A = this chain, B = another copy of it.
Amino acid sequence: MLELAVLGLLRDGAHHGYELKRLLADLGFWSVSFGSLYPALRRLERRDLIEAQVSSDKRRRKVYRITDEGDDYFQDLMRSDDTSTADDDRSFRLRLAFFEYLDPDRRLPILERRRHQIIEERDRMKRRLGRNRERAKARGDRYRLAVLEHGLRRAEADLAWIDELIMAERTAPDGFSPGVAPEMP
């Protein structure tokens, strides 16, 4: 997660650690601590995925930029199926945030794979609700039910959302505004 986010932000441009922390928070996923960010930057640097240049002015800032190897690795992460991370939701949204850097041909398949995952999640939620409904009602436990219903609603909202994204991707694969579909001469 953190690696992908850092590499993606460094594709936007060169940044130093302190700045990256703010940009990371602005992405809206989580607020990483320095105790996690700086070691991560060192790891990436040691693997030659990013390189640092200490700023010449008085501020001892280490400005990082992504290397060619880092770029390759970034592409790998963006394309990967990533069953590794259990947190599919966050991990998908993070990748989506950097979709502009992904080969346009590869975007739709990823969206559709994610759509499939969401449908599975929704169905799992439905099954759980079914299993819990009688048991919970008998015990007068509305709270556990409320949590499951929230999960179902969220899955359904996510499904609607991803369908919008897929629609937009189909009608405007290269980022043209919708309605201006590519014409065939």
Contact = CB atoms under 8 A, between A and B. Distances in A.
Interface of A: 26-28, 30-31, 86-87, 93, 96-100, 124-125, 128, 131-132, 139-144, 146-148, 150-151, 153-154, 157, 161, 165, 168, 175
A91 to B, nearest CB: 12
Please provide the 8 A-B residue pairs with the shortest distance between their CB atoms, ordered closest to farther.
Answer: A99-B143, A97-B147, A140-B175, A100-B141, A28-B151, A97-B144, A93-B147, A96-B143
A148 B28 contact: yes
Contacts of A125: 28
A30 B86 contact: yes
Contacts of A26: 128, 131-132
Which one of A30, A143, A148 has the highest number of Cβ atoms from chain B below 10 Å of its Cβ? A143
A165 B30 CA distance: 26
Given A28-B128, A31-B86, A131-B26, A161 B150 contact: yes
